[in-house]
Amino acid sequence: MKKISILLASTFILTMFTGCNIPGRATEITKIENPNKEEISEIQSREGLMLRVSQSNCDEISRDEDVWVSTSYEIMWDGTITRNVNYMLSGCIEDESVTLSEEDYLTIYVFAESTYLNESYSDHSEQGSDGSSWNYVYYPTDSDETVCLYSGYAYSDEDLCQIQDIVSSYFPDEDYYGPLQSAE
**Is the per-residue pLDDT at 77 higher than 80?**
yes
- pLDDT for 81: 97
Q: Which of 59, 53, 4, 23 has the alpha carbon at shortest distance from 161?
A: 53
One CATH from 3.30.1560, 2.60.40, 1.10.1060, 2.40.50 for 42-176 = 3.30.1560
User: pTM for the full model?
Assistant: 0.74
Residue 40 class from Cβ within 10 Å (0-12 exposed, 13-18 middle, 19+ buried)?
Answer: middle
Report in angstroms the alpha-carbon separations of 140 from 35, 43, 77: 17, 11, 10
**Is the per-residue pLDDT at 11 higher than 50?**
no
- Mean of per-residue pLDDT scores for the chain: 76
Give the pLDDT band of residue 128 (cuts 50, 70, 90). low
Domain residue ranges of the chain, discontinuous segments joined by +: 42-176
